[in-house]
Amino acid sequence: MKRLLRICSLVIGLIILLSWAVYSEPKEDAVEKIRKRGYILWGSDAEGGAPYVFPSPKDPSRLIGFEVDLAEAIAHELGVQARQSQNAWDSLIPSLKRGDFDIAINGIEITPERKQEVLFSLPYYIYTEQLVVRKEETAIRGIDNLKGKKAGTLSGAVAQNILEGIGGVDVRIYSGQVEPYEDLAIGRIDAVLLDLPIAAYYAKPNPKLKYAGAPVGRGYYGIVIKKEDEELKKALDDILAKLLQTGELKRIYEKWDMWNETQEALFQDIKGSETHPGIEESRKAPLQTFFPMLIKGAGITIFISVASMALAVSLGLILTLLRLYSRPPFSSLATAYIELYRGTPLLIQLYILYYGLPNIGISLSPVAAAFLGLGMNYAAYEAEIYRAGIMSVPKGQMEAASSLGMTKTLALRRIILPQALRIATPGITNDFIALFKDSSLVSVIAMVELTKTYTILSASTLRFFELGLIVAVLYFAMSYPLSLLAGRLENKLKGTA
Amino acid sequence: MIKFAGVSKYFNNGARVLKDISLDINAGEVVVVCGPSGAGKSTLLKTINKLEHIDSGEIIVDGFSLQDSKTNLTMLRAEIGMVFQHFNLYPHKTAIQNIMLAPMKVKKLGKKEAREKAMSLLGRVGLSNKCDVFPSQLSGGEQQRVAIARSLAMEPKIMLFDEPTSSLDPELTSEVLDVMVSLAQSGMTMVVVTHEIGFACNVADRIVFMDNGEIVETGTPPDIFVNPQQERTREFMSRILHIPINNTPVEG
């Protein structure tokens, strides 16, 4: 009876899920809908930072930024309120297409490949890319000097295309705009190329950094609108033109210290918006072209996983032995380590290792931080698996060994641990599979492994689906053999125990 | 050889498991300890090689006080063999590896020498053909004989047996007892916790009857089994020998 109920609820759940997936809203004028609702929902990433959209330093619960002002001006013209919807910058367009919000305003450059996915309003800002270097840098005076250097930029930004177009530049991809400048200041990279508004806000006030050369490239920020919302686009274009003519837009930019002569062009070539030929080919490129990058990412994933698991199993053993057999200060330190690492998120640990330690003068490379972060975190879990294994070895084993004159150390090494490890093996292999997938978290510290390769590739080509499937298959192809191995090990150990 | 002087031990909850035990065991003597379960027999046995600590009193083994911090405990333990109720063979090692490990690692015997010795001991307990078999593939009786050989490999002066046959089927018991009898006949000092009355009668020089953490009485096998002085001993013996107690007449 219980089982029947469970099956029924499963089926009903599936039907609801399916119907939700298939159901599409009846066509309705987006402008009408927004007016009726009383507010316009605009998507942006507050993590993306100043001066676009960011938490007010005075009241972090309130968002400010020139795009907040712009959104409010637009909403005012529409006669509605503006409500911000937080969404990771990388996935603003997919989320918009899914219907999470009406429009996206977040320094999104108008590019041909994006225009195939969504509509853009008239441009509301002309940006240029500014190269930033360390104060003492003399060799890099412009993007032409970047060959053989390490240059950082944002994932999916136009600057990435420019850097990759130069050739021979070691391009480092970041997901936030603070981190590249931090890494530049401490010498992890040699230069950062990012949109001028970002440089103006984050790099200009930093005494350790300076601009290198004049801004390069030119592009337009546009408001992103769903492909079917033609009326909304028309309405927004009218509003932007009005804001331009009344000087409201200029007032906003002056408030944020973003006005420059370049913006005068908004009045002239308000129609032209396709200055970056960029990577249109990648949109239609056959999938094979992405394989080398994906395979390389998978290789890095394997390398990081194996290396950090090796650290985890050895450090974990030391921790367990300290916890179980050492004198008080050490045993409680080991216990504290285990509890601390199990009780805090891996992501936070990685951030502290990579972005936090430089504050106290320790700067780790991405590989070292990823290796230590994953390894030290999993060591805590391995320690507990070992401990369970040791505890489950019968007390008589230690008694028998002691009665034969073995010291505790000898008995541990020869009698207790070999048995405990057998018991622990399935748990350890299981954890290895988990670590393998958790290794995707190190993408936050500028490690371009498989997941990061995926987000970078799909952010620039918008082929989230196909690439996502390929990446999932790659992960599975790597972890399934591990599962098989774990199963085989388990059987084998059952035989001899 | 073994001397208990006023030995007491408490459990964490304050209950006393050993009450003021005093006992002398001479070299070459075979002593059988019996008594109801929970009497403290196993605990008493394990204090001899300090697998159990005591709270007061003193135990002297082969002239060394276990309570003296200068006594080298591992050295002393190597001289005291112990056989357990549940054998406690190392499950991840073969029979011969079980026997060879301690001589090689503790006595630093060469591998060849250790192997020869292990083989001869396996022969002595009648298991020459089982040397490369894992414990899980041996019967209980065979496991216990390997365990005895493992203890003998350290050439102990004293052998302790903690209910060596009580987890064995009756038909497997005798093969273990045979080994123990021949060991006793070779002059080994033995302390045996067991309920095997036949073994006790044949081999034991002395029976120690314990109840409730104290020694109730000691004596030769006939003294204890046939003519016990204490009420508690009499009661226990009649129960394990299934003889009705004569001083509780059945009213008609």
The reported pLDDT for the residue numbered A275 is 36
CA dist A127 and A134 (Å) reads 22
Position A268 pLDDT exceeds 90? no
Q: How far is CA A279 from CA A118, A251, A461, A487, B168, in A?
A: 17, 34, 8, 46, 79
Cβ distance B101 to A414 less than 8 Å, yes or no, reads yes
Q: Could you report the per-residue pLDDT of B136-167, keeping only the tens digit for each?
A: 999 999 999 999 999 999 999 999 999 999 98
- Tokens 């609108």 found at: A225
CA dist B248 and A141 (Å) reads 113
Q: Answer yes or no: is the ipTM higher than 0.95.
A: no
A77-81, A372-376, B213-217, B242-246: the lowest-pLDDT one? B242-246
The reported pLDDT for the residue numbered A89 is 82
B13 CA to chain A: closest CA distance, Å?
Answer: 21
Q: How high is the mean pLDDT of chain A?
A: 83
Find the residue in A nearest to B86 (Cα). A396
Q: Does B78 touch chain A (CB under 8 A)?
A: yes
Cβ distance A496 to B51 less than 8 Å, yes or no, reads no
Q: What are residue A54's DSSP bridge partners? A: A64
The reported pLDDT for the residue numbered B252 is 38
Mean pLDDT for B180-185 is 93
Q: Which of B46, B92, B134 sits opposite A418 (nearest CB)?
A: B92
Q: Could you report the per-residue pLDDT of A434-491, keeping only the tens digit for each?
A: 999 899 998 877 677 898 888 777 766 667 888 899 999 999 998 898 888 888 877 7
Mean pLDDT for A184-197 is 90
Q: Does A395 touch chain B (CB under 8 A)?
A: no
The reported pLDDT for the residue numbered A68 is 92
Is residue A369 classed as helix, strand or coil in its secondary structure?
helix
A16-20, A492-496, B33-37, B244-248: the lowest-pLDDT one? A16-20
The reported pLDDT for the residue numbered A23 is 43
The reported pLDDT for the residue numbered B250 is 44
Position A125 pLDDT exceeds 60? yes
The reported pLDDT for the residue numbered A115 is 87
Backbone angles phi, psi at B92, to 5 degrees: -90, 5
Mean pLDDT for B81-87 is 94
Q: Does A272 touch chain B (CB under 8 A)?
A: no
The reported pLDDT for the residue numbered B115 is 95
Q: Which of A407, A410, A496 sits opposite B92 (nearest CB)?
A: A496
The reported pLDDT for the residue numbered A462 is 66
The reported pLDDT for the residue numbered A387 is 95
Percentage with pLDDT > 70 across chain A: 87
Q: Which one of B101, B132, B133, B163 would you mutate to disrupt binding with A, by most A Cβ within 10 Å of its Cβ? A: B101
Longest dimension (CA), chain B: 73
Residue A5: how many other CB atoms lie within 10 Å: 9
The reported pLDDT for the residue numbered A272 is 40
Q: Does A408 touch chain B (CB under 8 A)?
A: no
Cβ distance A394 to B89 less than 8 Å, yes or no, reads no
The reported pLDDT for the residue numbered A460 is 62
Q: Are the beta carbons of A120 and A223 closer than 8 angstroms? A: yes
Q: Which residues contact B195 (CB under 8 A, 6 or more apart)?
A: B34, B163, B166, B240
CA dist B27 and A87 (Å) reads 84
Q: How many Å is the Cα radius of gyration of chain B?
A: 19
Mean pLDDT for A237-253 is 87
Residues of chain A with Cβ-Cβ distance to B80 below 8 Å are 403
Q: Does B151 touch chain A (CB under 8 A)?
A: yes
Find the residue in B nearest to A407 (Cα). B74
Position A245 pLDDT exceeds 90? no
Q: Which of B77, B84, B91 sits opposite A497 (nearest CB)?
A: B91
User: Which residues of B, range 176-205, sit inside 8 Å of A by Cβ?
Assistant: none
Mean pLDDT for A324-353 is 93
Position A345 pLDDT exceeds 90? yes
CA dist A182 and A130 (Å) reads 16
Q: Which residue has the higher pLDDT, A334 or A275?
A: A334
Residue A446: how many other CB atoms lie within 10 Å: 24
Q: Could you report the per-residue pLDDT of A5-57, keeping only the tens digit for each?
A: 565 565 555 555 544 444 444 456 888 889 889 999 999 887 767 788 877 77
Mean pLDDT for A262-282 is 50
